[in-house]
Structure 1
Amino acid sequence: MKSRYLGIVLLVIGVALAWWGYNIYDSTSSQISRAVSGDTPIEAWAGMVGGAICVLVGLLKLK
């Protein structure tokens, strides 16, 4: 039963992290930075990748 609660928490945290990462990726300053130098902020990648990993682990815990 505890594993199920952990899975739900990881799903919520994963979605929030992915959303946060996408918001950073889509921000005006990030768009200007990508246009000038071609680099994406590491915070955006960390949020989106970390969120995806949390969602996957959360889904595995729910099974």
Structure 2
Amino acid sequence: MNNKIIGIILIIIGAALAMWGYNIYDSASAQLSRTLSGDTPIEAWAGMIGGVIAILIGITRLK
């Protein structure tokens, strides 16, 4: 029972983290930065990748 609760919490946190990373990636300042230098903010990558990892760990806990 505990693993299922942890899994659900990880999925919720992962989804929120991935959305936060995408919002940073899609922000006006990030678009300007990508246009001028070609670089994407590290916070965007960290949020999206961290969110996906948390979701995957959460899914494995639900099994």
Give the TM-score normalised by structure 1: 0.99
4+ runs deviating over 3 angstroms: none
> Across the two proteins, how many residue pairs are aligned to each other?
63
Aligned partner of 2:12 in structure 1 is 12
Quote how far apart the aligned CAs of 1:9 are.
0.2
Identity of aligned residues (%): 63
In the alignment, structure 2 segments of 5+ residues that lack a partner are none
Q: Deviations over 1:13-47 (max 9, x none)?
A: 00000000000000000000000000000000000
Structure 1, unmatched stretches of 5+, are none
RMSD: 0.2
Structure 2 length as normaliser, TM-score?
Answer: 0.99
Report the AA paired with residue 28 of structure 2: T
Mapped to 2, the partners of 1:33 and 1:21 lie a distance apart of: 15
